[in-house]
Amino acid sequence: MVTVFETTDADEAYEALRRAYGKLGMRAGDGDHYVRLGHHSLGPARLHRNTFGMTVDMEGTPQGAVVLGRIGEGRIALDTPGSARRFGMPGEAFVVLQPGEPHQARLERVDIELALLDQDLIAEVSDAGDRPVRFLHHERVPAQGAALWGATYDYVSGCVTGTPEALAEPLVAGSMARLLAATALSVFPNDGTAEPTIEDRRDAHPASLHRAIAFIDDNAHRDITPAEIAAAAHVSVRAVQLAFRRHLGTTPREYLRRVRLAHAHRELLTADPRDTTVMTVAGRWGFADHSRFTAHYRAEYGVIPSQTLRRAG
């Protein structure tokens, strides 16, 4: 779901921010009180783009989600317990807030993109077990990492706005949300990533791989998570990833994508082009972006998907 709210009334802006972020203190400075809030929902992940035409002071304590940001313009002063940070470089990516972390912030004519990721979503793609992952906002995100985060954010945001009908498909919404979470874990410093342990290396054997493959093959139609695949293989998420790299030279995510691509191919072979579209089939199997689906399909089958659909008719 996409929601856009615009106002020049400070009281209306406060109410909209309170609805989006919970209990919040806000004081707007003089001048243009223009506020624009754009919210895209992917279930356990939300994409927000907020624009403030004035200086705003805020304080509050977020609940339930990690908040990650990328600044477009303006300046931000963000104070949390034990940390006083300043941001103002376009494209700069940073950890904004942790769940339950009180903060005080000053936003000076800011345009900012935010990703709010539920802790359960992060747990699905990490291997931290029952321990909540903590992001380390005292460490800066290098430029290369910020660029990767920006590209991923833009891709997911483009899918949300460009093909909103695809988000009705559980495989699309789930894969987009987990892509954001996995990229966040790789870009933003945190305590939930680690090298494979001795046990992980021991468990990354062919039997574990075969159990993971069997689970993926039998459940590709479902919105399955890395944690579910690992549980079916009776090993950790890291051990599954290592097994796929060691024995197949790929990743579980890539293997799942190829299995779903094969299902889409078989469906296109038998579909009636009079009442079926390529993107309907693609969305059903978790592909939101038409150009990427076409590229993957052509690389695998030597033709574009619309040709297969026409031949089926």
Query: What is the domain partition of the chain in residue ranges?
Result: 2-144, 256-312
pLDDT of 129: 63
pLDDT of 17: 87
- Tell me the per-residue pLDDT of 233-250, one tens digit each, with 9 for 90 and over: 999 888 999 999 999 999
DSSP 8-state symbol, 31: S
Nearest to residue 69, comparing CAs of 41, 39, 49? 49
What is the C-alpha separation between 173 and 163, in angstroms, rounded? Answer: 11
pLDDT of 147: 96
What is the C-alpha separation between 59 and 12, in angstroms, rounded? Answer: 17
Lookup: tokens for 264: 């889409």
289 vs 192, higher pLDDT: 289
The answer to whether residue 1 scores a pLDDT higher than 60 is no
Written out in words, the top-level CATH class of the domain with range 2-144 is mainly beta
CATH of the structural domain 256-312, one choice from 1.50.10.10, 3.30.420.10, 3.40.50.300, 1.10.10.60: 1.10.10.60
- Tell me the per-residue pLDDT of 91-102, one tens digit each, with 9 for 90 and over: 999 999 888 889
What is the C-alpha separation between 189 and 182, in angstroms, rounded? Answer: 12
* Residues β-bridged to residue 86: 77
Q: Residue 237 is inside which H or E element, if any?
A: helix 237-248
Nearest to residue 264, comparing CAs of 286, 242, 245? 286
Say what angle helices 206-219 and 226-233 make with each other, to 10 degrees: 130
Poorest-pLDDT segment among 11-25, 67-81, 199-213: 11-25
The answer to whether residue 160 scores a pLDDT higher than 60 is yes
Q: Position of tokens 């030279």? A: 249
- Whether residue 264 contacts residue 282, with contact meaning beta carbons closer than 8 Å, is answered with yes
pLDDT of 139: 76
* CA distances for 281 relative to 102, 220, 223, 266, angstroms: 45, 14, 16, 10
- Whether residue 129 contacts residue 94, with contact meaning beta carbons closer than 8 Å, is answered with no
Fold equal for 2-144 and 256-312: no
The answer to whether residue 194 scores a pLDDT higher than 80 is no
Poorest-pLDDT segment among 18-27, 48-57, 278-287: 18-27
Nearest to residue 292, comparing CAs of 184, 117, 172, 177? 172
Q: What is the mean pLDDT of the chain?
A: 90
Q: Note the residue count of the chain.
A: 313
Q: pTM, whole model, 2 decimals?
A: 0.87
- Tell me the per-residue pLDDT of 248-300, one tens digit each, with 9 for 90 and over: 999 999 999 999 999 999 999 999 998 999 999 999 999 989 899 999 999 99
- Tell me the per-residue pLDDT of 89-131, one tens digit each, with 9 for 90 and over: 999 999 998 888 899 999 999 999 999 999 999 988 887 666 7
pLDDT band at 170 (very low <50, low <70, confident <90, very high): confident
